[in-house]
Structure 1
Amino acid sequence: MMNRRARGWLIAVAIAVAVALVAAMIWYVMQLSEPSPEQARDDTLPSESVLAVKIDNVAAARPQTGLDAAEAIYVTPVEGGLTRLLAIYTGELPDAIGPVRSARESDIELLAQYGYPTFAYSGAAPDVLTELADAPLVPASPSRSGGYYRETERESPHNLYVDPAALPSPDAPPEQTVLQRGDAPAGGIVAASHTTSYGNATFEFSWSAREGWVISMDGSPISTTEGDGLSAGTVIEQHVEISDQGPADATGNRAPTYRTVGTGDATVLRNGRRFDAQWSRPAPEAPTRFTTSDGTPLPMEQGQVWILLVPSS
């Protein structure tokens, strides 16, 4: 019969072995659940893929965060003669973007030319939410994605921001390059400045040989929370069909809806010159193309592109 001391020793050994096995199992499970550095998602989008973010643009929302990292910024009309921004990101992402605001029905058509992008927005009207669920994009609102947070130094609703690296990845890049780059054609008219008004929001663009088209809004230069002023290599005033058919806000103003499939007039600013132009986009999945009045392709300069959607005359 085994004596008491031997039994105690065996029990101690058994306990030690069990503890070691449990620790090994925990370590193994952690290795499976925690991605390696190679697997961990970084702050760069997959090649050619697109992240689009709807950004607030009223006075209480300025200065915004992350605008300087966008490849393109669309200025879109909203209620009361005001505007919002739809920022397009490719490649490396900023640490934060915002303030994020709600999506509109017209955003779906505009983004269809960008493949199957991730679209970050704060929410939308019920009918628009249904359309977003069926649209060729990855919806990334706070109810569907992580990465969102409130900035306590600003008042709601102008204080919602997102860490773009926490958003879901886009499903597919565009089939064709949307923002064509290249040399300017001959012609154009020398221009030192240009103004675009939406009623209660006015944008001014001033040409600088060193900085490009320096952007101001309502008489003040646009800057970001990172301390940078904004300038564009190319500015496009794109004339589109706009109607007040969307849901009404609290004051009774209806949300404008705009069409970006079709054809129309445009004004293109680049290299200190203004070009009278035409735009064409035959289908939602097709990229918008710009040409001079005689049909010569009108590509965009290097640097950020601003596209302002304004009513056709």
Structure 2
Amino acid sequence: MRRAPLTIISLLTATGLLLAGCGGGDDSADKPKAASQEVAASEEIASTWPLTGLPVEGDEDVAKTHPVLVTKIDNTYSSSPQLGLGQADLVVEELVEGGLTRLAAFFYSQLPAKVGPVRSMRASDIGIVSPADASVVTSGAAGRTIARIKGAGIQFFQEGAPGLSRDTSRSAPYNVFADLTTVAKTAEDDAARPDDYLPWGDEKDFPGGQKATKIAASFGGGHTTNWTYDGKGYVNENTYAAAGDHFPADTVLVLRVQVGDAGYLDPAGNPVPETKFTGKGQAMVFHGGKLVRGTWSKSDLKAPIKLSTKAGDLTVPAGHTWVELVPAANGNVTFTKR
């Protein structure tokens, strides 16, 4: 199902009276709403980007003519250097076979002309991309994964589609790259703003937490992603991204998730894991050199992510967020104060 069009609200008079529309059914309270900010009388109220919560500047239009394009990127030494991460709005790191990880990089506000290396989809991606009604850019997938992706109604573009090609200077299978400006032309959609991917909030509303400036997110023995807070944002200390093309993480959001068996083996004979991105689990929000603990919940694969603490709902300060889907059973997250 495609997204509903974004409604732009206008200020009617200088006295501050707003035109308020009637709400829908009771379930409308569960849908994330586009944030807005009040401005001077008779001026349009600016919207925010759905994948960062940041305000739209100048004459940019938040309702693009293409869907969110989630590109699957290899995250091993062989992927070096990764291209395009510096223009991503949001990144989700997920477990794949052999204890390694793969990146689901979300692009909407900017579309790089070369991103990759592009790798294959997993069934885990259904719960990751569905809340944004996103399309997936991929090198391909196992037959049963493609069947499940299609069954979930997710559009995808694989090798052979316009915009995907091989870089002959690299070795296969780490040589597939995507020009998202070309992919977007094929993926043209109604001009509509996707729902907010996370519950965005204001910096001043982020609760005070314990100091945490170094983070190690382990995915169960095969890979650990290390972060250091440098006073402005979080630096991925073992990234494979090209110099000057690192993801600018303002927040690192760790969600402890259940992992099952996807039911088949990869070409090397390793069982393929499947992240069960529904239900609830522990959440750790690292922002501004601080950690706030809470709980995440997701009622179904298409539902948005909700965050809470014992005090109530928890929001993520607007900005660029890297989401770590760390296995609850054998993964681990450690942090230090310096």
TM range, smaller chain: 0.7 to 0.9
Tell me the SS of whatever aligns to 1:63: coil
Q: State how far apart, in whole Å, the 1-side matches of 2:299 and 2:306 are.
A: 10
Among candidates 145, 156, 160, match of residue 172 of structure 2:
156
Q: State how far apart, in whole Å, the 2-side matches of 1:131 and 1:174 are.
A: 26
Gaps of 5+ in 1: 1-43
Q: Does 1:88 align with 2:106?
A: yes
Comparing both chains, which one has the higher relative contact order based on Cα–Cα distances under 8 Å and sequence gaps of 6 or more?
Answer: 2
Among candidates 101, 125, 131, match of residue 113 of structure 1:
131
Q: TM-score, normalising length from structure 1?
A: 0.78
Which position in structure 2 is the counterpart of 1:286? Answer: 303
1:69 is displaced (CA, Å) by 0.7
| Structure with the greater alpha carbon radius of gyration | 1
Which position in structure 2 is the counterpart of 1:238? Answer: 255
CA 1:228–1:95 in 2, change beyond 3 Å: closer, same or farther?
Answer: same
1:94 is displaced (CA, Å) by 1.0
Which position in structure 1 is the counterpart of 2:26? Answer: none
1:110 is displaced (CA, Å) by 1.8
Q: State how far apart, in whole Å, the 1-side matches of 2:231 and 2:99 are.
A: 32
Q: In angstroms, what is the RMSD of aligned CA positions?
A: 2.1
Q: State how far apart, in whole Å, the 1-side matches of 2:147 and 2:189 are.
A: 19
Tell me the SS of whatever aligns to 1:152: coil
1:294 is displaced (CA, Å) by 2.8
The share of aligned pairs that are identical, in percent, is: 31
Which position in structure 2 is the counterpart of 1:227? Answer: 244
Q: Does 1:147 align with 2:166?
A: no
Structure with bigger helix share is 1
Which position in structure 2 is the counterpart of 1:300? Answer: 317
1:128 is displaced (CA, Å) by 1.2
One-letter code aligned to 2:195: Q
Which position in structure 2 is the counterpart of 1:192? Answer: 213
Among candidates 277, 280, 298, match of residue 263 of structure 1:
280
Q: State how far apart, in whole Å, the 2-side matches of 1:268 and 1:48 are.
A: 30
Tell me the number of residue pairs that the alignment of Structure 1 and Structure 2 aligns.
Answer: 262
Taking the TM superposition and a 5 Å limit, the aligned residue runs for 1:161-180 are 161-167=177-183, 168-169=186-187, 171=189, 176-180=195-199
1:45 is displaced (CA, Å) by 7.8
Gaps of 5+ in 2: 1-61, 330-338
Q: TM-score, normalising length from structure 2?
A: 0.72
Q: State how far apart, in whole Å, the 1-side matches of 2:310 and 2:267 are.
A: 42
1:78 is displaced (CA, Å) by 0.7
1:139 is displaced (CA, Å) by 1.4
Q: State how far apart, in whole Å, the 1-side matches of 2:241 and 2:275 are.
A: 27
Q: State how far apart, in whole Å, the 2-side matches of 1:197 and 1:158 are.
A: 24
Q: State how far apart, in whole Å, the 1-side matches of 2:311 and 2:287 are.
A: 18
1:64 is displaced (CA, Å) by 0.3
Which position in structure 2 is the counterpart of 1:128? Answer: 145
Question: How big is each residue's C-alpha offset from its partner over 1:163-184, in whole Å with a ceiling of 9 and x where there is no partner?
Answer: 1111122546576311333224
CA 1:253–1:133 in 2, change beyond 3 Å: closer, same or farther?
Answer: same
Q: Contact 2:79–2:240 (CA<8 Å) still a contact in 1?
A: no
Among candidates 72, 78, 88, match of residue 90 of structure 2:
72
1:99 is displaced (CA, Å) by 0.4
Q: State how far apart, in whole Å, the 1-side matches of 2:241 and 2:326 are.
A: 24
1:50 is displaced (CA, Å) by 0.8
One-letter code aligned to 1:153: S
